[in-house]
Structure 1
Amino acid sequence: MARYLLSRLLGGAATLLAVLTFVFLLVRFSGDPVRLMLPDQATAQDVAAMRHALGLDASLPVQYISFLRSALQGDLGISLRQGRPALEIVLERMPATLELALISFTIGFFVAVALAVISEVSGSKRLHTAILWVATARQSVPPFLFGILLVLIFSVKMNILPAIGRNDWKSYVIPVATIASFEVALYLRLIGSAFEEMRASDWVRTARAKGISRPRLVMGHMLPNALLPVITVAGVNLGVLIGGLVVLETVFNWPGLGRLIIDSVSQRDFPVVQAGVLMIACAFVVINLLVDFIYAALDPRVRHS
């Protein structure tokens, strides 16, 4: 068990180092931020002085070593645009992204479990087929397009919900509905497939032969087994969700980390981009480590492998 957890920790550290290296190289190949910071009439001497002040005149290996040394000390640089610590700016935006991701994920996951259990307990093939058709139809529509449709209906036509911003609880309705509905479709199909496989298993047939009621069989035996593979997918998907809200935050003008990274990329604000991507990578690694620990605690085969 200890060896399993240690290997996961080392793998997470290697992942963060790879992300840091990739982002460091990528942002520096995107263009020269000095040209954007200085006016058009700036002389070559002005450009050289600014580049030296920012440390951009050093060779790439020297910049990389300096960047890693500072990052290990918790210093991710100063924003080229705002003149403030990049990590401070990122941490200000992080709560908005985490709120939207966690609320949407929680609602989507539990609604999917409830619908899957209702469908399985009822034993109705028509209900099961209808739920799967609705889930498939929702998954076929990209989240950003679905969100725009909700804005057109509830904000433009009906004028009952705000289209953009993060002001009160009404501001959460459309973004959360957009993301949670996609999450419902994903987990519903996974749990439904697991139920379908278990129906033909020997232990389920034996339980039915012993006279165990259908609700007790589904809730007490089938659901815990069906959730084991779903936990792994849910952990990975939550990490992807946190890092993948860039488009939706732009659509809804949500003041989160994704929108900050998009704005910083267009402004070539290297430190903020690096800090933002690193925070997303950290969230992804931490979530996956927690999922590994939970899976090891629930499944003895993992602990003894």
Structure 2
Amino acid sequence: MLEFVIKRTAQMLVVIFLALTVVFFLIRLSGDPTALFLPPDAPREQLDKYRELLGFDQPLIIQYKDFMINAVQGDFGDSLRTREDALSVVLDRLPATFQLALSALVVSIVIAIPIGVLSAYKRNTIFDRIGVALTVLGQAVPSFWLGLILIYFFAATLNILPSGGGGSPLHMVLPTLTLAAYSVARFARFTRSTMLDVLRKDYIRTARASGVPMIKVLSKYALKNSLIPIITLVALDLGVLLGGAVITEVVFSWPGIGRLLMQSLLNRDFPIVLAGVFLIAVIYSVINFIADLLYAYVNPQIRVK
């Protein structure tokens, strides 16, 4: 078990290292950020001095080496725009992103599991066709388009919900529904597939033949034995929701990491972007790491892979 933990820990560190490396070089393609922080008519000498102050006068490989040395120590530098510690700025936005992701996860579970169970029980009926159609639609509709449609109907037309921002539970409704749409479709399809497999088992046929009420068969026997893979998918999907919240936060002006990263990309605020990518990579990797440990605990055969 110890060897398995060490192996997975090493893989997690490699993923974080590669994520930071790729993003470091990609954001440099957007150009020199110093021009954005000085007046357009600033003399060349002032530009060169500012670049030297920020370290952008060094060769790219030297900048990368210095960044990695500091990043290992938890230092991602200061924001180029606000001069605040980059990692602290990102951490301040983390609770809002977690709040949105967790609420979307809860909504996804509450809506998706009943749809999946009903579709499996009513297989090849109108209920099943509607359920499958909704899941396909949920996976096909872009989140930004869905967000704009919800804003148009509930905020602009009906004027019953705020169109964006944060501060109250009402502000969470539209972004939560938007972010949850894809997960609802994903969970519902997976629940339907898992339930169909369980409903074919002999003990389910025996329970039904013994006169056990169908609602009890579905809830106590079928759904209970389908929950293990569903719970696994739900746990892993939390990382997906955290990463996928970027577009939703931008559309609804939600004060989370996603919106901060988008603004920082447009402003070429490299330290904020790298600190945000690091935090998201760590969270996603840790979630997958915990899932791997649970797999290894439940099924020892996984440890040798």
Offset of 1:79 from its aligned partner? 0.8
What residue in structure 1 maps to residue 8 of structure 2?
8
- What do residues 187-214 of structure 1 show as CA deviations (whole Å, max 9, x unaligned)? 0111101122333344544555566554
RMSD of aligned C-alpha atoms?
A: 2.4
- CA 269–123 in structure 1, closer or farther in 2 if over 3 Å, else same: closer
User: 1:175 corresponds to which residue?
Assistant: 175
The two structures have a TM-score, normalised by structure 2, of 0.90
CA contact under 8 A between 1:231 and 1:295: conserved in structure 2?
no
Distance 1:56 1:138 in 2: 44
Shift of 1:224: 4.1
Aligned equivalents of 1:158, 1:205: Cα separation in 2: 49
Q: CA deviation at 1:145?
A: 1.3
Equivalences for 1:118-157 in 2 at 5 Å?
118-120=118-120, 125-157=125-157
Range 38-47 or range 91-100, more displaced: 38-47
Partner residue, 1:295: 295
Q: Structure 1 304/26 Cα, relative in aligned 2: closer, same or farther at 3 Å? A: closer
Whole-Å Cα distance in 2 between the matches of residues 7 and 231 of structure 1? 24
1:175–1:51 distance in 2 versus 1, CA, 3 Å: same
**Paired residue type of 1:92:** D
The whole-number CA distance in structure 2 between the counterparts of 1:223 and 1:295 is: 20
Compute the displacement of 1:60 (Å).
2.0
Query: Do structure 1's residue 22 and structure 2's residue 22 form an aligned pair?
Result: yes
Instruction: Find the residue that maps to 1:40 and give its secondary structure.
Output: coil
User: What corresponds to 2:71 in structure 1?
Assistant: 71
1:229 CA drift (Å): 3.3
User: Aligned with 2:42: secondary structure?
Assistant: coil
Number of equivalent positions:
305
Per-residue deviation, 1:9: 1.4
Give 1:155 shift: 0.9
Structure 1 stretch displaced more, 214-223 or 174-183: 214-223
In 2, Cα distance between equivalents of 1:265 and 1:296: 39
Change (3 A) 1:124 1:61: closer
2:159 maps to amino acid: N
CA distance in 1, matches of 2:303, 2:215: 31
1:189 aligned partner: 189
In the TM superposition, 1:33-48 aligns within 5 A as 33-48=33-48
1:174 is displaced (CA, Å) by: 1.0
Q: Structure 2 matches for 1:148-297, cutoff 5 A? A: 148-205=148-205, 208=208, 213-297=213-297
CA separation in 2, counterparts of 1:137 and 1:237?
A: 19
More off after superposition, 21-30 vs 201-210: 201-210
Distance 1:9 1:99 in 2: 27
**Aligned partners of 2:105 and 2:183 also within 8 Å:** yes
> What does residue 61 of structure 1 align with?
61
Contact 1:89 1:272 in 2 (8 A): yes
Please name the residue that 1:93 is paired with.
Answer: 93
Note the residue ranges of structure 2 that are not aligned, 5 or more in a row.
none
For the Cα contact (< 8 Å) 1:121–1:214, is it kept in 2? no
Aligned-partner Cα distance in 2 for 1:212–1:300: 36
Q: Are the counterparts in 2 of residues 165 and 252 from structure 1 also a CA contact under 8 Å?
A: yes
Q: Which whole-Å deviations, capped at 9, do the CAs of 1:198-239 have from their partners, x for residues lacking one?
A: 333445445555665544443344334433333443344321
Identity %: 37
Question: Structure 2: how far apart are the matches of 1:145 and 1:37?
Answer: 33
Q: What is the distance in 2 between the residues matched to 1:144 and 1:82?
A: 29
> Are residues 214 and 298 of structure 1, via their aligned partners in 2, closer, same or farther at CA, if it must alter by over 3 Å?
farther
Equivalent-residue separation in structure 1 for 2:133 and 2:215 (angstroms): 24
Letter paired with 1:272: I
